[in-house]
């Protein structure tokens, strides 16, 4: 067979081979000026966040501008696109950079993190491994994080896009290591159901993950929690016994280090004991709280976390870094590699050259191509130091405790859960109203807080009742910001009562 150099149906116009088209700027100086303006504008915006409300919803004009444009075939130019970004995109975020954003558990980001992401993009590294600096940086960050978490020096790990992916990686290793058969080769066909245990407060990543791994939601055994929203460890033990008796195969217990609803931290030491006794994998979902171990004051809350077989945690939540960055640590490096390594000829390691050292991160996770998330973690850890980060975490916890006490002292407000970490859950409960009316009022107050630009809190349901959550995980919040919330609540409750009446 003779090759022509191109597919016979392609019929290329050979003259275009001489044109030298590129996507680099034709005028580098003009582009440099635009790029500097982009950075200046971004920093201006960041340094004046308090001058604006946390959230501004996209107007009808913005929705129209961002929804109906036909595929741009002709170039519009970077200047034009940037002008549209400033007008239609930049102002309309959910608001998570703002000092009075306390919804869910979102990252505020840092100016250094922003620049680190820009630098990572400028390097355009594919952080799959290879003989390059990005590999060394990521391995260093993993080593630092393992040390901070009390994991052994030879533990494995990988930076992930978020807590969901980090947990998925941990649970995939758990499944393959403890299934008792070769899952990678045979799948789950003809095998007893594998079961995984975690509290009813376990984040919904777990069901998504079990569905994705072909185990099905039924494989998740939701274990009751106590009044403090921590898992009932004896109930896990009873469920394991019952499941084994029914012919199922328990493989893993998940402890949560900071639930999304209330910040509750399971008794990780007791779960570690149980997992050890039962021969199960112990996975910790520390997306919300695990980094708290950086603070000597908070560290005792996480007792037992260092005994986990795998530990997933976000750096774009309580680590304050911009999206996306999380980490999963796996104690048994071989089990980690055995779950993800492949044998494709085009990915083969070499002893020398660019591929020396291999594609180490392709063997630790699902993705092959990855961006250089570790750079912002590396820069932040070095520039700020763990002590400063820990001091801000302590400040968050102090704010949450003080806010909890202040809210509880307001008329018509009830705290609905103990402040176990950095989350305050409260509800509007005027005397003489029914629980259903209180649900409606609480929801109305939540939405009005957002819509009036007072603060962005989020809502959830605890024991069947609607509550407002304030997650104090924001490095920009000062106590004065919480005072803005406290000052506004009585009047907003008043308006909400009149609206609903």
- Indicate the residue among 129 and 255 with the shorter CB distance to ligand PLP: 255
Least separation, in Å, of the C-beta of 202 and ligand PLP? Answer: 8
Q: Indicate the pairing of strand 310-314 with strand 281-285.
A: parallel
Number of other CB atoms surrounding residue 432 within 10 Å:
5
Copy the structure tokens of residue 308.
């986990």
Distance of CA 439 to the CA centre of its chain: 28
Are residues 179 and 339 in contact, defined by beta-carbon separation less than 8 angstroms? Answer: no
- Indicate the residue among 160 and 239 with the shorter CB distance to ligand PLP: 160
- Indicate the residue among 135 and 256 with the shorter CB distance to ligand PLP: 256
Which residue's CB comes closest to ligand PLP?
Answer: 163
Burial of 463 (0-12, 13-18, 19+ CB in 10 A): exposed
Q: Which residues bind ligand PLP (CB under 6 A)?
A: 105, 162-164, 167, 203, 205, 256, 259-260, 285, 287-288, 314, 326
Distance CA 124, CA 118 (A): 10
- Indicate the residue among 207 and 386 with the shorter CB distance to ligand PLP: 207
- Indicate the residue among 110 and 135 with the shorter CB distance to ligand PLP: 110
Dihedral over alpha carbons 177, 281, 330, 377 (to 10 degrees): 140
- Indicate the residue among 183 and 294 with the shorter CB distance to ligand PLP: 294
- Indicate the residue among 272 and 423 with the shorter CB distance to ligand PLP: 423
- Indicate the residue among 138 and 444 with the shorter CB distance to ligand PLP: 138
Number of other CB atoms surrounding residue 227 within 10 Å:
8
Q: Which residues contact 61 (CB under 8 A, 6 or more apart)?
A: none
Q: Indicate the pairing of strand 326-330 with strand 156-160.
A: antiparallel
Least separation, in Å, of the C-beta of 494 and ligand PLP? Answer: 32
Least separation, in Å, of the C-beta of 105 and ligand PLP? Answer: 5
Sheet holding 220-223, edge to edge: 156-160, 326-330, 310-314, 281-285, 249-256, 194-199, 220-223
Burial of 415 (0-12, 13-18, 19+ CB in 10 A): middle
Least separation, in Å, of the C-beta of 254 and ligand PLP? Answer: 10
Least separation, in Å, of the C-beta of 163 and ligand PLP? Answer: 3
Least separation, in Å, of the C-beta of 287 and ligand PLP? Answer: 3
Which residues in 324-438 belong to E strands, given as ranges?
326-330, 413-415, 423-428
Dihedral over alpha carbons 230, 236, 238, 241 (to 10 degrees): 180
- Indicate the residue among 285 and 309 with the shorter CB distance to ligand PLP: 285
Least separation, in Å, of the C-beta of 68 and ligand PLP? Answer: 30
Residues in the chain: 501
Least separation, in Å, of the C-beta of 205 and ligand PLP? Answer: 5
Distance of CA 473 to the CA centre of its chain: 13
Least separation, in Å, of the C-beta of 414 and ligand PLP? Answer: 24
């Amino acid at each position: 067979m003779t090759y022509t150099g191109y597919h016979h149906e392609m019929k290329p116009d050979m003259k275009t081979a001489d044109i030298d088209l590129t996507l680099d700027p034709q005028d580098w100086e003009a582009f440099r000026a635009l790029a500097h303006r982009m950075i200046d504008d971004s920093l201006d915006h960041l340094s004046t966040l308090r001058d604006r409300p946390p959230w501004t919803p996209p107007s009808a004009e913005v929705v129209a501008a961002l929804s109906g444009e036909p595929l741009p075939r002709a170039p519009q130019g970077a200047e034009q696109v940037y002008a549209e970004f400033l007008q239609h995109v930049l102002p309309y975020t959910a608001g998570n950079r703002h000092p009075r954003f306390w919804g869910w558990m979102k990252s505020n980001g840092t100016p250094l993190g922003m620049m680190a992401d820009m630098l990572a993009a400028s390097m355009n590294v594919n952080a799959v491994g290879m003989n390059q600096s990005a590999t060394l940086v990521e391995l260093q960050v993993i080593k630092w994080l393992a040390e901070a978490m009390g994991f052994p020096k030879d533990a494995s790990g990988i930076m992930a896009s978020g807590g969901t992916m980090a947990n998925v990686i941990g649970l995939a290793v758990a499944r393959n290591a403890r299934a008792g058969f070769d899952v990678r080769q045979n799948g789950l066909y003809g095998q007893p159901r594998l079961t995984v245990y975690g509290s009813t407060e376990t984040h919904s990543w777990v069901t998504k993950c079990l569905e994705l791994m072909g185990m099905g939601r039924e494989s998740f055994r939701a274990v009751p929690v106590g009044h403090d929203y921590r898992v009932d460890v004896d109930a896990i033990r009873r469920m394991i016994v019952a499941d084994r008796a029914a012919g199922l195969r328990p493989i893993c217990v998940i402890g949560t280090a900071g639930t999304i609803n209330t910040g509750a931290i399971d008794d990780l030491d007791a779960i570690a004991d149980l997992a050890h006794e039962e021969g199960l994998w112990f996975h910790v979902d520390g997306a919300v709280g695990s980094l708290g171990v950086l603070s000597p004051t908070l560290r005792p809350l996480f007792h037992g976390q260092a005994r986990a077989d795998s530990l997933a945690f976000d750096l774009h939540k309580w680590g304050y870094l911009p999206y996306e960055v999380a980490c999963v640590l796996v104690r048994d490096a071989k089990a980690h590699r055995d779950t993800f390594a492949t044998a494709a000829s085009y990915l083969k390691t070499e002893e020398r050259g660019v591929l020396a050292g291999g594609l180490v991160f392709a063997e630790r996770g699902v993705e092959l191509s990855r961006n250089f998330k570790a750079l912002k973690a590396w820069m932040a850890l070095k520039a700020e130091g763990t002590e400063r980060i820990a001091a801000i975490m302590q400040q968050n916890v102090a704010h949450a405790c003080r806010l909890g006490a202040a809210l509880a002292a307001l008329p018509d407000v009830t705290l609905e859960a103990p402040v176990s970490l950095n989350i305050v859950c409260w509800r509007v409960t005027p005397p003489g109203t029914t629980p259903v009316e209180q649900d409606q009022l609480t929801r109305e107050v939540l939405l009005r807080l957002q819509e009036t630009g007072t603060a962005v809190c989020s809502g959830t349901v605890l024991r069947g009742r609607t509550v407002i959550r304030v997650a104090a995980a924001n490095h920009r919040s000062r106590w004065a910001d919480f005072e803005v919330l406290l000052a506004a609540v009585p009047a907003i409750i008043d308006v909400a009562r009149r609206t609903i009446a």
